[in-house]
């Protein structure tokens, strides 16, 4: 993995039903720029779908990320990046290892408060998708337009309330990247509305669909490289 003396570590966390592969292009560009990248596939999803069971929840996914960081020998001053549901996970992980986290980037993602679940901060249409579980009774099936590699996502992870001990304003930079090209009302609009007028947040609106890694890779790379500048 190529790095330079000024390189930092980006930790990339995918949204529901997706694996670390959804960041492949972005990760390659960040590495080319001299940064370390750790992209995490969450338990029970994608190439780890065989681990899906009713006990896989948000705590499991937060632990996935913290353990991956510990096992990767990643340096401090981490930038945690979460797409969609991944916003829940990076918020929880940042709280557990706050002394090692420098910045957080929410890519069209949920921004939870203490005591909230993903269910709590999305709209009713999104909730209808969550409860349309597969035959297992605890897997949320991927939507038809998702990547063909997508798999069911653990229902418990979007139902469990997040518990954190501190607020996000303790980190150097907070970024929100909002996707404008939704077919209807964005289920992430409530989260964006929470932060868009907050002076502690830097907010960006991109003319792309929810999968901004696919639609707006150059814009995302520009934003992340800017975050890396101290």
Taking only Cα atoms into account, the Rg of the chain, rounded to an integer number of angstroms, comes to 16
User: Annotated catalytic residue: which of 84, 157, 186, 191?
Assistant: 84
| Residue-level length of the chain | 230
The answer to whether the beta carbons of residues 187 and 120 sit under 8 Å apart is no
The answer to whether the beta carbons of residues 111 and 194 sit under 8 Å apart is yes
Question: Which one, of 28, 55, 16, 15, lies nearest residue 153 by Cα?
Answer: 16
Strand partners, 80: 11, 104
**Does residue 186 carry a catalytic annotation?**
no
The full 3-state SS of 156-189, as one line of letters, equals: HHHHCCCCCCCCHHHCCEEEEEEECCCCCCCCCH
- What is the rounded distance in angstroms from the CA atom of residue 136 to the CA atom of residue 140? 9
Active site residues: 84
């Amino acid at each position: 993995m190529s790095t330079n003396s000024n390189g930092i570590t980006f930790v990339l966390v995918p949204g529901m039903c997706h694996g670390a592969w959804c960041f492949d292009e972005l990760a390659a560009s960040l590495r080319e720029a001299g940064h370390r990248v750790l992209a995490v596939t969450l338990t029970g999803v994608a190439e780890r779908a065989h681990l899906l069971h009713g006990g896989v929840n948000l705590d499991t996914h937060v632990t996935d990320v913290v353990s991956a960081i510990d096992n990767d020998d990643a340096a401090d001053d981490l930038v945690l990046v979460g797409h969609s549901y991944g916003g829940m996970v990076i918020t929880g992980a940042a709280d557990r290892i706050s002394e090692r986290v420098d910045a957080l980037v929410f890519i069209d993602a949920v921004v939870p408060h203490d005591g909230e679940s993903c269910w709590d901060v999305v709209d009713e249409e999104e909730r209808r998708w969550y409860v349309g579980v597969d035959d297992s009774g605890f897997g949320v099936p991927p939507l038809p337009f998702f990547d063909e590699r997508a798999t069911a996502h653990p229902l418990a992870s979007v139902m469990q309330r997040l518990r954190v001990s501190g607020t996000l304003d303790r980190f150097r930079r907070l970024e929100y990247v909002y996707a404008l090209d939704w077919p209807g009302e964005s289920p992430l609009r409530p989260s964006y509305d929470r932060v868009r007028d907050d002076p502690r947040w830097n907010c960006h609106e991109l003319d792309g669909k929810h999968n901004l890694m696919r639609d707006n890779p150059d814009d995302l790379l520009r934003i992340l490289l800017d975050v890396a500048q101290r």
